[in-house]
Amino acid sequence: MAKHTCAICGAEVNLMSGQKLADGNYICRKNCGKKCFKELDKVSAHLPMITEHIAQIEKGTKIWNEVLLPLKKSKSKDEKLVEFGTSGGADLYVSPSTGLVALVETHYKIFIFGKYQKACVYRIGDLARYDYFEEEQKNSEGKMEKKHFMGLIFDNTTGMAAFNLQLPTKKACDALEKCFNEIFGIQKTVRNSLNNAKRQMDAIKSVAGAVKAAAQGNLDEAAVNQAMGDVDAYVRGDRTEILAKADAILAKYR
């Protein structure tokens, strides 16, 4: 059997004990592969992504234990974490009060009472997409069963920037979507339609201004950036505040 070397720890691996990455590198399953989340698609990952992902978990686990986990017991309604539990996979915790979201893997220790967790922590404001999709999968009895997923993609993120979260029901997926919509102020309730209208007007005015400037031949970069920012805010909601909250905490974890 062909022998390879784990590109991270140098351990000798073969086709069984090693995982081949998209760039041809191998990592060992026993040690380095286990450090990664199951949600990470290793087959299409390159080595730098794996090392960044391992660093992301190291930092994320620290933030989870020191900042987010204590909020789980918070009595304050504003500080409460919103939990989206999966069965078997990592669970998602949304923390509007800190502007952070954590994907948390829980490992139960057999024979020893207790558990340990590892986490990837993201800025909620970097969430680029959160889309529902469903898939037919065979269950343990061989019957086809509908599975429900939310596909999450984050901007400005090194390591694992995208993953699919399998939630127990469509209803749970809708609740997660609603949770993010509310944070970004883009739900279509009467209260927020005013907000939407204002952002839409800002976007239209900026774009119109930029187009006018272009027609007059004096288009400047600032006007274009302003217009693009306003369009972005219209589509994604205004994320200034939620990003600032997250950065205040992340500054301590550089």
Contacts 24+ apart (CB under 8 A), 42-45: 45/21
Contact 199, 230 (CB under 8 A): yes
Instruction: Give the residue with the Cβ less far from Zn ion, 28 or 249.
Output: 28
Name residues whose C-beta falls within 8 Å of residue 70's C-beta, 6 or more positions apart in sequence: none
Instruction: Report the site for Zn ion in 29-48 (rule: CB under 5 A).
Output: 31-32
Report which of 26, 167, 20 is spatially closest to residue 92, judged by C-alpha positions.
167
9/214 with CB nearer Zn ion:
9
From the list 27-35, 52-60, 133-141, 167-175, the region that binds Zn ion by CB under 5 A is 27-35
* Shortest distance (Å) from residue 252 CB to Zn ion: 30
Q: Contact between 9 and Zn ion (CB under 5 A)?
A: yes
Query: What's the min distance (Å) between Cβ of 25 and Zn ion?
Result: 11
Query: What does the alpha-carbon distance between residue 190 and residue 227 come to, in Å, rounded to a whole number?
Result: 26
Closest of 103, 105, 51, 54 to residue 81, by C-alpha: 103
Is residue 14 a contact residue for Zn ion (CB under 5 A)?
A: no
Q: Is residue 80 classed as helix, strand or coil in its secondary structure?
A: coil
Smallest gap from residue 6 Cβ to Zn ion (A) = 3
Q: Could you tell me the smallest distance in angstroms from the CB atom of residue 35 to Zn ion?
A: 9
Binding range to Zn ion, per CB under 5 A, among 2-10, 64-72, 159-167, 190-198: 2-10
Of 29 and 147, nearer to Zn ion (C-beta) is 29
Decide if 153 contacts 162 (C-beta within 8 A): yes
Q: Is residue 250 a contact point for Zn ion (CB under 5 A)?
A: no
User: Which residue has tokens 């490992």?
Assistant: 107
Helix crossing, 190-215 with 221-236: angle to 10°? 160
- Contact between 50 and Zn ion per CB under 5 A: no
Our CB check for Zn ion shows the closer of 56 and 166 to be 56
Q: How far is the CB of 189 from Zn ion (least distance, A)?
A: 50
Size of the site for Zn ion (CB under 5 A): 7
- How far apart, in Å, do the first and last CA atoms of the chain sit? 43
Residue 6 within binding range of Zn ion, rule CB under 5 A: yes
Of the pair 26, 163, the CB lying nearest Zn ion is at 26
Among 8, 50, 207, 246, binds Zn ion (CB under 5 A): 8
Minimal distance in Å, beta carbon 30 to Zn ion?
Answer: 7
Exposed/middle/buried for residue 190 (C-beta within 10 Å: 0-12, 13-18, 19+): exposed
Q: Are 95 and 246 in contact (CB under 8 A)?
A: no
**Residue ranges in contact with Zn ion by CB under 5 A:** 6, 8-9, 11, 28, 31-32
